[in-house]
């Protein structure tokens, strides 16, 4: 079904009405999530899980509105669009951080367990609690920490670990839980700020009236969606896919020990493709609001890029933890193994993307 | 050409004469290498490279004689064969160790350079000198250390490295050069021992007269070669090839942080296949003395298994170095990255073996 949707040029003309309808629907979702967030106490004890879900839903709508303003800019009132766009980016960035730190800790703890041959212990290792209950509870199994109110075992099971791995886990737990707690506070503060209230007011207006340009009604959305698709294709064409498609090319760990502590520059083009793929997906949602879920291979490519981003950031977190002063050599060793393991994951994600993208282009060309 | 040789059953009957001819030829090679070794001073200054080559040639013949005694045991005088076999194994083990330590250091230094983004500096990084000149000189480029008599830069170029990687390189250099020097002395001592003289005397007899059993002349070599082939196939059937053929399965680094410091138990069946593949190759050499080189895919499979063994041992050396007391955390971190990198190489080698073996069985079935 979704096959012909991949290239926006393949569909019939889509009028500006579809854009207005999509933006109204997303604005409505945004307001609903905001209401839920307020009703569940905004992260206070007793409602943290629903509140976290609501914050993620808020972010989901903010990203879609933001991406749509970007792709279909010529059809929208320029002043309005240009003032709202950066505010939505700020909001989704602020709301996403807590979840990202929790997921990063989960990923690193899972890797430490796997590297210690304790993979069976994984399902109960989801995130540590912030604000009463654990934001990671939805990922935990029946025996997980959700709802108990006690501290979740975010550090690996020491019985199966060397002291180095156990200490590395404890260090990462400390650092990432601290970062997560700060992100949680920052998100709560942001949601109470006058800056956020201005965004919410703009979105409330959008829910009833989308500020289209006077000529928008006569325009076809497809060329703009196609341009978003072209930007994605061009960016993908710039990726080293030939190398990525060759298993065990050992590219991702190059510079693994370089003195540069900045994020890997080789990852940046992949992160950029990830963003462009998301914009393409949102443009398809505008054009084909009924075509949910979108093409599974597009989702697979997006998931590979998410995994790439997650592994890249987890590898950086392990490297950063290794620069903590006065750690034991065994801890540093475990963090080195962990860093390399996550860079290996980065390489695996590139391979997975290359495989799904290849299928993509073969079947749509 | 060599395609039909893979299964020994596919050739015409081969008489015991071929076995005697092969053993005589290998014994002659052994004696020639021994003479060269003595003439070049057995590792004293001025002739180390030729001497090292001669020692490797000695080992090459010793392994072939030993493997042939094993595969075609029923055709050979039992007492003689059973007394010579362990002595040849002792000799080839003793002679191989120096080279193995040198190659391990080369591999680890090359990896440290690659991980530091200094891969261009590789060709001049071949082994450190033992006994005057470097055994690694034949691997060095025109700018390499061979023949200069000065110390080769076995540690990585510090300009491109973090202190951690540079210190890790220096530590590995120290440990593996010491091990290599000891292995060199042990090999020289072995070659001067009465135990070795007894082996050399046995091989000298073998060069003129192979002690076949009275019934050997009437026997066909093929069933015994086929049995060696079957042992290889059975061992390969026990390998986790399905997993190995799935890129980035992350199997090789499981237990990468386990408290067990022994070599990875998961590597043992692969090492076993490596030995059985070599026995199969030697049996083919007996059956088809003119078919040189043997099938390229058989060589590719063997090379993948050599790489597997080398990476496995290099990973262990990095882990062992990390257990050196009082090292800096940055050094330990670099060794952790290096260990994981080499385990990644182990996984890559398994994938390469799976690929070549698949071709093998498809084309010969």
**Contact criterion met (CB below 8 Å) for A134 and A140:** yes
DSSP symbols for A36-98:
HHHHTGGG-TT-HHHHHHHHHHHHHHHHHHHHHHHHTGGGB-HHHHHHHHHHHHHHHHHHHHH
Total of domains in chain B: 1
Total CB pairs under 8 A between chain A and B: 142
> Would the pLDDT of B151 be above 60?
no
CA distance A257 to B152: 23
Which tokens is A80 given?
């309005």
CA distance B57 to B64: 11
Residue with tokens 């006994």: B131
For B101, how many CA atoms within 13 A lie in the half-sphere containing its CB? 23
For B336, the closest of A333, A344, A351 (CB atoms) is: A333
Q: How far is B158 from chain A (nearest CA, A)?
A: 11
Segment A260-292, tens digit of pLDDT: 666 688 999 999 999 999 999 999 999 988 776
Q: What's the confidence (pLDDT) of residue B233?
A: 96
pLDDT value of position B31: 97
Residue A48: per-residue pLDDT: 74
Domain that holds residue B315: 2-364
Q: What is the per-residue pLDDT for A152?
A: 42
Q: Is the pLDDT of residue B154 over 70?
A: no
ipTM of the complex: 0.84
Residues on chain B bordering chain A, Cβ-to-Cβ distance under 8 angstroms: 112, 114-117, 119, 160-162, 164-165, 247-248, 250, 253-259, 322, 327-341, 344-345, 347-348, 351
Q: How far apart are CA B34 and CA B36, in angstroms?
A: 5
Inter-axis angle of helices B16-39 and B48-71, nearest 10: 160
Residues B4-62 have pLDDT tens digits of 446 777 667 778 899 999 999 999 999 999 999 998 876 554 467 788 889 899 999 99
B153 pLDDT higher than 50 = no
Q: What is the mean pLDDT of residues B310-334?
A: 96
- The residue ranges of chain A whose pLDDT is under 70 are 1-6, 10-11, 42-47, 118-161, 259-263, 292-294, 360-365
Q: Do B327 and A329 touch (CB under 8 A)?
A: yes
Q: How many helices (H) does chain B have, and how many strands (E)?
A: 10, 0
Give the CATH number for residue B63.
Answer: 1.40.20.10
Q: What is the C-alpha separation between B355 and B304, in angstroms, rounded?
A: 10
Closest CA to A108 of A311, A351, A330: A311
């Amino acid at each position: 079904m979704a096959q012909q949707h991949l290239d926006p040029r393949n569909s019939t003309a889509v009028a500006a009405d579809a854009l207005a309808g999509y933006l109204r629907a997303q604005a409505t979702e945004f307001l609903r999530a905001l209401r839920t967030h307020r009703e569940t106490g905004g992260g206070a004890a007793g409602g943290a899980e629903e509140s976290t879900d609501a914050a993620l839903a808020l972010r989901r709508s903010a990203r879609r509105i933001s991406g749509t303003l970007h792709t279909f800019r010529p059809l929208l009132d320029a002043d309005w669009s240009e003032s709202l766009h950066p505010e939505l980016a700020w909001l989704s960035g602020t709301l996403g951080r807590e979840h990202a730190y929790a997921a990063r800790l989960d990923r690193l703890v899972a890797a430490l367990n796997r590297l210690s041959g304790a993979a069976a212990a994984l399902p109960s290792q989801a995130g540590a609690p912030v604000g009463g209950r654990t934001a990671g509870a939805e990922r935990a199994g029946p025996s997980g920490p959700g709802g108990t109110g006690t501290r979740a075992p975010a550090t690996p099971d020491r019985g199966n670990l060397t002291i180095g791995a156990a200490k590395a886990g404890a260090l990462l737990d400390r650092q990432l839980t601290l970062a997560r707690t700060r992100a949680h506070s920052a998100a709560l503060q942001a949601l109470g700020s006058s800056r956020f209230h201005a965004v919410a007011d703009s979105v409330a207006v959008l829910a009833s009236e989308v500020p289209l340009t006077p000529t928008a009604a006569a325009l076809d959305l497809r060329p703009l969606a196609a341009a978003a698709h072209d930007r994605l294709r061009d960016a993908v064409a710039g990726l080293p896919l030939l190398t990525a498609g060759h298993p065990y090319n050992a590219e991702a760990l190059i510079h693994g020990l370089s003195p540069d502590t900045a994020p890997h520059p080789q990852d940046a083009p992949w992160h950029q493709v990830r963003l462009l793929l998301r914009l393409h997906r949102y443009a398809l949602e505008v054009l084909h609001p009924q075509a949910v879920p979108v093409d599974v291979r597009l989702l697979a490519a997006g998931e590979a890029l998410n995994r790439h981003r997650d592994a890249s950031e987890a590898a950086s977190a392990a490297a950063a933890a290794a620069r903590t002063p006065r750690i034991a050599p065994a801890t540093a060793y475990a963090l080195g193994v962990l860093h390399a393991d996550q860079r290996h994951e980065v390489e695996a994600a590139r391979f997975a993307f290359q495989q799904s993208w290849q299928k993509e282009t073969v079947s749509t060309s």
